Amino acid sequence: MRMRPTLSWTPTQELPPGTTDLEPIADVLRTGGVLVLSGAGISTESGIPDYRGEGGSLSRHTPMTYQDFTASAQARRRYWARSHLGWRTFGRARPNAGHRAVAAFGRHGLLSGVITQNVDGLHQAAGTDDVVELHGGLDRVVCLSCGALSPRRELARRLEEANAGFAPVAAGINPDGDADLTDEQVGDFRVLPCTVCGGVLKPDVVFFGEAVPPQRVEHCRGLVRAAASLLVLGSSLTVMSGLRFVRQAARAGTPVLIVNRDPTRGDGHALTRVALPLGDALTTVAGRLGVPLGRGGPL
């Protein structure tokens, strides 16, 4: 079943205001059993923009949908040209203080798990184990015909060889690794097939309009059921793929806490929303708990 893309959200009721008090966040972490749900806002300090925050990419860019990608060869050409160029920058991004704090909390046994809506791999690069990538990962490519998985770096090498000299200047990079290019800049970019069966290749990520695999959703629901609390970091919770876990936790009486500078679609279910930059906020909390932050390694 394919989901209809949700690109924006407008509050229909007055939401509780954000706070700068970090003690509730520190309290739940002291107790342990915290399940983290992270979104694009945790990666902005690594140079990857978010979708909906101030200056978010949706103000200038409509993400590729699954329906357009599968229906049109020209859409695939446009996507892969933009994504190939974006990968050169996106693939060099490094974890920031927020990612390192999450990894440190995990090492100290304070977390029950991490679910991320991001496709950038920065939690893993910071040292967090067993991350559930709700929307997949850009570091992998899947064939839509035979299902073969392959490393993104392998496809990047093949695309470099097939499109020698392709180096347009992009207007910006988006959270999905897609660079902003005009159709003229895309030109006759050559798209490559699967090396196993010749089928259509797609990054192993959930596009807008595509459903998260049911088994992955159920796994995440199990993590929510087992958690002592749910801590949302840097997600507007606009799309149902993340919001459903907040609603599930709230229905079960599991405390929900949010760190996000802007209001979110889940604020009405949360005990508190801390409206502070994530890196500073989590670093401060780590200091209060006596948890040293490590240094994230390369992707």
Q: What is the pLDDT of residues 235-277, one digit of tens each?
A: 999 989 999 999 999 999 999 999 999 999 999 999 999 999 9
* Nearest partner of 82 among 197, 1, 180, judged by Cα: 180
pLDDT of residue 51: 58
What was the pLDDT predicted at 209? 85
| Predicted pLDDT of residue 10 | 66
CATH assignment at residue 200 = 3.30.1600
Annotated binding site for NAD(+): 39-59, 117-120, 234-236, 278
Q: Which domain holds residue 23?
A: 18-48+95-135+211-299
pLDDT on residue 297: 43
Nearest Cα neighbor of 147 from 181, 185, 194, 186 is 194
Binding site, residues?
39-59, 117-120, 143, 146, 194, 197, 234-236, 278
Q: Which of 61, 99, 135, 269 is catalytic?
A: 135
Any idea which of 45-49, 61-65, 146-150 has the lowest mean pLDDT?
A: 61-65
- Residue 1 placed within a domain: no
Task: Please name the residues in contact with 114: beta carbons below 8 A apart, sequence gap of 6 or more.
Answer: 35, 36, 38, 102, 106, 123, 128, 130, 131, 132
- CB under 8 Å, gap of 24 or more: what pairs does 50-56 form? 50/175, 50/234, 50/236, 51/174, 51/175, 51/236, 51/238, 52/8, 52/9, 52/236, 52/238, 52/262, 53/236, 53/261, 53/262, 54/262
Last residue of a domain, one of 158, 187, 205: 205
**pLDDT tens-digit map of 17-38:** 899 999 999 999 999 999 999 9
Where would I find the H helices in 110-151?
Answer: 122-125
Is the CB of residue 189 less than 8 Å from the CB of residue 80?
yes
Query: pLDDT per residue over 111-134, tens digit each?
Result: 999 999 999 999 999 999 999 999
pLDDT at 61 (0 to 100): 56
Q: Catalytic site residue 219?
A: no
End residue of a domain, out of 205, 222, 255:
205
Categorize the per-residue pLDDT at 295 as very low, low, confident or very high, splitting at 50, 70 and 90.
Answer: low
Detail the residues annotated as belonging to a binding site for Zn(2+). 143, 146, 194, 197
Based on the fold, state whether residues 216 and 270 are members of the same structural domain. yes
